[in-house]
Amino acid sequence: MWDNPRLLNAAANALLAAAACALLYAGLQLLLRSALFPLREVTVRGALEHTSRGEIERAAAGRLAGNFFAADLGTLRVALERLPWVRRVELRRAWPDRIEVLLEEHAAFARWGDEGLVNSFGEPFAGRLEAGAAARLPLLAGPAGTQGEVARRTRRFAEILAALGEAPERVVLSPRYAWQLRTARGLALELGRDGAETVEQRLARFVAAWPGTLGRLARRPAEGGGAQVDLRYPNGFALRVPEWRG
């Protein structure tokens, strides 16, 4: 080996590389422990309506130990994402002494079941609303894990019903995956299950038929509530109004 210059050069290069790595590691450890780069400020950005500064400060307390380089942003992100109204968190270091926090809140789209909310992406979350604000949201229900699908269909039902000046107040997906809908003015619609004709197509057919059928009545079935429409027929629908006779 001692007579082989190539091997000697390779060994020397390896030793130099190891020494450089050791120096780099030592320098990094010194930098992470240094008091020369303290964190002085945490700024929070984002349109926040339901998350207070106090909640953010309590969630962040004790989770930014160390200096500008050593602060564990991952731990802080997890803590902030546990706040009930926080959907997404972005963090970045801003030289020389600041951490920038961008929070995105959930936008409540509907109530889900007896408690809980669903956001505009169909994701369930644990936020709370005052009773009046919650009552203005549609009520959705369905089997576990179907929040996204029920929210997506509800949005589509609202688009179809807009032609009648109506909106969904309650949408239920049964355990057999049959759809039921009640409008804001109390009209109950039995949509059934998807088949050769989707439930959206049945609802659109009903809306198209409304002006020439139920829309011509002096007293609209939806007025006062209690009216039920069964749309599970291939070529029509059945109407039941409890107080009507004959």
* DSSP designation for 184: T
- pLDDT tens string 3-23: 556 665 665 566 656 555 544
| Band of residue 203 on the pLDDT scale cut at 50, 70, 90 | very high
Residues 117 and 198 in one domain: yes
| Stretch 66-74: mean pLDDT | 78
Number of domains in the chain: 2
109, 127 contact by CB (below 8 A): no
Q: Last residue of some domain: 83, 105, 127? A: 105
Coil vs helix vs strand at 31: helix
Q: Residue 204 pLDDT more than 70?
A: yes
* Interacting residues of 96 by C-beta distance below 8 A, sequence separation 6+: 37, 68
115 and 207 belong to one structural domain: yes
Looking at the structure, tell me whether residues 214 and 236 fall in a common domain.
yes
Mean pLDDT across 42-57 = 90
Residues contacting 55, CB < 8 A, separation 6+:
83
Domain that holds residue 202: 108-240
Pair 32, 72: CB distance under 8 Å: no
Task: Please indicate, yes or no, if residue 13 is contained in any of the structural domains.
Answer: no
Output the pLDDT for position 29. 47
Q: Is there a domain that residue 157 lies in?
A: yes
Residues 139 and 197 in one domain: yes
Distance CA 203, CA 239 (A): 14
Residue 245 is assigned to a structural domain of this protein: no
Mean pLDDT of 45-49: 90
Sheet order of strands, 98-105 included: 41-45, 98-105, 86-94
Q: What is the CATH number of the domain that holds 118?
A: 3.40.50.11690
Distance CA 46, CA 232 (A): 46
